[in-house]
Structure 1
Amino acid sequence: MRLGEALRKLRERAGISQREAAYRLRYNYQKLSRIENGQLPEYHGLRAMLDLYGVLVSEEAPFIDMWERASEKGWWHPYRVADHGYLSLEHDATRLSTFSLGYIPGLLQIESYMRALFAGWQVQRSRKWIENQIAVRTRRQERLVADEGLEYHAIIAEAAFPLADREQLLHINDMGTRPNVRVQVLPFAVGLNDGYTGSFHLLDFAYLADMTVLYVEHPAGASHVEDSEQVKASKVLFKHLSKLALAPNESADWIGRLAAER
């Protein structure tokens, strides 16, 4: 995605339209569009684009470096988990906003909650599959406690809490004390609202300041949405849900009282 954005800016700087560039590169228009949205080009195709866009050979190094980095497999590949492209997005994101309707979000789950969640799935999985999932989810959580941690804002509906035990609840509150983590509870008391349409994630990236990706999971897989109007509507909804939800300190008190009862 970083490379695609850089190539788009080079093309625009050269004053070449996407259709014209595709014609001169002997690409179809859709292929160039996919490259500018994150599909990795072949090496010689990259060099052809740099030449077309007026990049001198002495200036190519940063773009070649980005291509090489994009060609590397992510840390999650050895685990062989089906992530629908989400892990790479989360790995590159600097801010993640999550609304969770029915379960504790993955970045806040403890191992026992993960195991209970996987055990309750309709399709029974092998022990190796479950261990890989837990390992990946635990590795993802390291970003919340890193020196330059992921900026994380989770709004969790009250419906997600009944099956969370005391240890899980206390862990949520512990993570909520971190400066980069913001946790809010959306209580039943606010009544029916737009959040009941389902859970979703919004991911922001430092190198794509004007781009947010909406990620939504569904029974058949998942969807990535980059359309600006659809993303904007989801950002407005998240902001609305944040206003409806308890403030972070009120949420921590609410979760603490619930933990005390268990």
Structure 2
Amino acid sequence: MTADNEGGAGSGGGNGGPELSDSLKTFGAVLKALREEARLTQEEFAPRVRYSPHYVAKIEQGKRFPPRDLVARSEEPLGPVAARVLSAAARSLTRRAGLASWFHQWASIEEEALSLYTYESSVIPGLLQPEPYIRAVFERRLPLLTEEVFERQVAARLARQQLIVERPDTMFSFVIEQALLERHFGGPDTTRALLDHLLEQGRRRNVEIQVMPLRQEDHSGFEGPMRLAETADNRWVGYVEAHDSSALITDPKAVSAMLQRYGKMRSQALSHRATASLLEQMRGAL
């Protein structure tokens, strides 16, 4: 299965399974200690940072990735010194918490890439999945995930998506099959959230989303999903996955062939503007 289906979140066990998130647990423990030092219960602290007690509890247990504004919101109830401590703990967090071990190498490349190209035919790319879609993916994961692993995987994927926001100078290109949108994976509400999210992300100046039509006689993607990344020194590398395994492709000839196929698919898919129009039509038909 692809990283956008499973690997970006980890699988059930063995060498390819998810690594325990020590950094998330440490952050949660620090938050709990600071909250207790301020003599606040979770029920008292939660409304002051504008989150639910249940959500705060999940963060303290290391089961949820803390929101980016949590530190700033904590300064008033916990004090400026505690906020600085919490900020230091937040810097130790990594968006790779909960990622499968075999996915880490590509995750490192993603974080430094100048350009990222993704073609997907089996599932919406992980960087473009809204939370309802992510949860629908992991709810269908076999073997079934425990609640703790499930929440950690969701948090890891949402955190990984911050790449698009944090790297506005990185060009993100996505070619996705129209069949993935027509499938209504997860039901109508999930599909509605997906279409809204794709439209929103597609408005970013560093994101180009193109849909490959259902009928395309000249389709060059028959060899399957793939990813390409331009590194900081302007080299290109490729990446492919299948069923909890992956391969990083660095041979220049092989990468060149992947670039040629991807370039051809971009010319075969709907334009960015035509894709947005199709998404709006599909959204209106729900």
| Equivalent-residue separation in structure 2 for 1:95 and 1:110 (angstroms) | 22
Aligned length: 188
**Deviation digits for residues 204-223 of structure 1 (CA, Å, limit 9, x no counterpart):** 112x21x2110101114111
Residue 260 of structure 1 aligns with which residue?
284
Residue number in structure 2 paired with 1:30: none
Q: Which amino acid aligns with 2:153?
A: Q
Structure 1 residues 78 and 105: alpha-carbon distance in aligned structure 2, compared to 1, 3 A threshold? closer
Spell out, residue by residue over 1:164-214, the C-alpha distance to the aligned partner (whole angstroms, 9 max, x if none): 5111111101100110000000011213623132111001112x21x2110
Are residues 100 and 77 of structure 1, via their aligned partners in 2, closer, same or farther at CA, if it must alter by over 3 Å?
A: closer
Structure 2 counterparts to residues 102-121 of structure 1, below 5 A: 102-121=122-141
Are 2:169 and 1:144 equivalent residues in the alignment? Answer: no
Q: Report whether the alignment pairs 1:237 with 2:248.
A: no
CA gap of 1:138–1:77, structure 2 versus 1, over 3 A, is closer
Work out whether residues 120 and 226 of structure 2, in 8 Å CA contact, stay in contact via their aligned partners in 1.
yes
Q: Deviations over 1:53-100 (max 9, x none)?
A: xxxxxxxxxxxxxxxxxxxx9824543643252211111212100001
1:90 corresponds to which letter in structure 2?
Answer: E
User: Unaligned regions of 5+ residues in structure 1, if any?
Assistant: 1-72
Q: 2 CA distance for matches of 1:136 and 1:218?
A: 20
Q: How much is the aligned-residue C-alpha RMSD, in angstroms?
A: 1.9
Alignment of 1:184-199 (within 5 A): 184-191=210-217, 193-199=219-225
1:127 counterpart letter in structure 2: E
Q: Which residue of 2 aligns with 1:48?
A: none
Local SS of the residue matching 2:215: helix
Q: Deviation at 1:163?
A: 2.3
Task: Specify which of 102, 117, 120 is matched with residue 97 of structure 1.
Answer: 117
TM-score, length of structure 2 as denominator length: 0.62
Give the aligned residue type for 2:275: S
TM-score (norm 1): 0.67
The answer for the alignment partner of 2:241 in structure 1 is 217
2:228 counterpart (185, 202, 205): 202
- Separation (CA, whole Å) in 1 of partners of 2:95 and 2:162: 13
Instruction: Report the Cα distance in structure 1 between the residues aligned to 2:196 and 2:273, rounded to whole angstroms.
Output: 14
Q: Secondary structure at the match of 2:166?
A: coil
Residue in structure 2 matched with residue 75 of structure 1 by the alignment: 94
User: Matched residues, percent identical?
Assistant: 27
Mapped to 1, the partners of 2:249 and 2:93 lie a distance apart of: 22
Query: 1:163 is matched with which residue?
Result: 184
| Contact 1:97–1:152 (Cα < 8 Å) also in 2 | yes
Give every structure 1 segment of 4 or more consecutive aligned residues whose post-TM-superposition deviation is greater than 6 Å.
none
Which SS does the other structure have where 1:153 is aligned? strand
Q: What SS does structure 2 have at the residue aligned with 1:184? A: strand
- Inter-CA distance 181–120: structure 2 relative to 1 (3 Å threshold): same
Q: Bigger CA drift: 185-194 or 93-102?
A: 185-194
Tell me, which stretches of 5 or more residues in structure 2 are unaligned?
1-91, 186-190
Which residue matches 1:60?
none
